[in-house]
Every structure is written in C-alpha cells, then in structure tokens.
Amino acid sequence: MAAEQQNADVKTMSFEQALEALERIVDDLERGDVPLDESIRIYERGEALKAHCDRLLKSAEDKVEKIRLSREGRPVGTEPLDPE
C-alpha cells in the first residue's frame, strides 16, 4: 500500500486529532522499541500529519482579522491581523 493511500484519512482529521496522532508517533519513536520497518512507516505518517497540521494552522491564520474602527470608534471593516 502506498504511503498516500495509508495516510488518506489524515486529510479528514481535525487539527486536534492530527496533533494527538503525531504526539503518539513521536512517543513511539522516542521509546526506540519499534522495529525499523514500522519506524519508517510511522515516520512517513508523522510527516503527513505534520503537513496537515501546518495547512490547518495556515488556514486559521488567514481567517484571523482585526476590526478597523473609524475615528468615531465604529467598525468600518477588517484587515489582516499581521499584514506582511
């Protein structure tokens, strides 16, 4: 089974689910008692989970905006929180 097929479920995970799964993988790898073949497989899954978390965070950052106020203190629109 290709890594893409193995990790297809990652795309449907929430940020919290993906982060929890990634933390379990890190714990398993740090323990050092996982056979080499399994280590490689779960490392690849960890890479997919990390990429998914990065995409979700970027999406959330893009949605964060600050409200612009008029001189009178009334909301007049929004702008990015951290304009680049």
What is the tens place of the pLDDT at every residue in 13-63? 999 999 999 999 999 999 999 999 999 999 999 999 999 999 999 888 777
Nearest partner of 45 among 1, 82, 83, 10, judged by Cα? 10
pLDDT above 80 (res 6) = no
Longest CA span, the chain: 66
Q: What is the DSSP letter of 11?
A: G
**Residue 25, token pair as written in the block:** 């993988």
pLDDT above 80 (res 84) = no
